Amino acid sequence: FRRSPFCPLPALCLLCVVLCCCSLLPLLPTGLRPLLDWSVIMAASSSSTINTNPTEIGAFRTENVPMQVITLRLTKENYFSWSPAMTMGIAGRGRMAYIDGSNPEPARTSDVWHTWFLEDNQVKTWIVNSVSADIQPLILRKKTARDMWVVLEQMYGQKKTAIRTYQVMKTVYGIRQGNSSVAEYYGALKAKWEELDYHSDIPWHCPHDQALYVAHEWENRVFLFLAGLNDEFEGVRSQILNSGEVSSIEDVYSCVEAEEQRRLVTKEGKRELVPYHERSALVSRGPGGPSRSIRRCTHCKKTGHTVDYCWDLHPEKKGNKGRSSIGRTPVSEVQASSGEKVSISVDQLRELRAYLGRID
């Protein structure tokens, strides 16, 4: 019996052989039935092509495993945010035992060593791909994923470090909202609070005292969050503080974030109005035309002409000097505010009146 070339699965061929043997058994003598039964089944199983190589089986099981489980990369400052995120990513893929030490390396002669070696290298790849470039050389040659994890914890996860605690406390009390959104501002504060809680892991003997301390600590954090908000949230801040009882930090954040959303919606719905003093600059603009610039003389500081046509510097450019008045329109003399007389013809007055009428 040979496997058919059209059969994709060897197990189905083996099943076909067994069924054929069962159909032939009633035609054989009674003494030969057990012998034929076992010989055919053993021959069919030995001729099948079922893969039993543990290395190839493991490769088939893990060929679609991603090379990175989180997008956050470990730096020298964010271990306390990176560690829980990385733990969730590894645990969610069933590989937590490779970093907590509960699945040590088996003997190389063991049947499960190939599978263990393959999965441990997967975890090592995840760890290397989730740290910054300057940290990768420090762990790249570690033997197991557990060794990598321990080294990172020893370098960046030490508890009760006085310098680090001082840095975090100083950062917390210096955080202000500024140009950040409420969500970004709250996220920055919460990350530092969690790091402080990690360093101040106090072994409490009385659960009641611990609960009172935690409640008091979070009340202070509510005040700290409100104090760092911008002045535009003074209304909701006063409302929260005047309510009598301090709400939880989650409720306070929800109120402030709702106020931020309300302001954004209101701002988008408003039309920007031009101030009155800016509208006065549009007087010189004609109907449907662009704004005309006002000419000003740099010599006499008067408007209506430039320095090239200033009569003080160029008296020869006066139109009525040295010419006959025959055929010219009569000229009116208007007393200027500076005391000098300005000659204006009737035609010029008509043109000025028509221009002012177009502006109105």
Model pLDDT, residue 190: 93
> Using only C-alpha atoms, what is the Rg of the chain?
44
**Can you spell out the DSSP letters for 63-129?**
TT--S-S-S--B-SS-HHHHHHHHHHHHHTTT-GGGTSSSS----TTSTTHHHHHHHHHHHHHHHHH
Q: What are the per-10-residue average pLDDT scores of the chain (360 residues)? A: 47 52 56 49 44 46 70 89 92 94 92 94 95 94 95 84 85 93 94 86 87 92 95 92 88 94 80 49 47 68 77 69 45 49 70 72
Q: What is the pTM of this model?
A: 0.50
Model pLDDT, residue 9: 47
Residue ranges covered by each domain of the chain: 10-50, 79-156, 163-269, 278-284+292-319, 330-360
Tell me the C-alpha distance between 80 and 100, whole Å.
17
Which regions of the chain does DSSP assign to beta strands (E)? Answer: 331-335, 341-345
Residue 74 near residue 135 (C-beta atoms within 8 A): yes
Q: Is 304 helix (H, G, I), strand (E, B) or coil?
A: coil
Model pLDDT, residue 304: 76
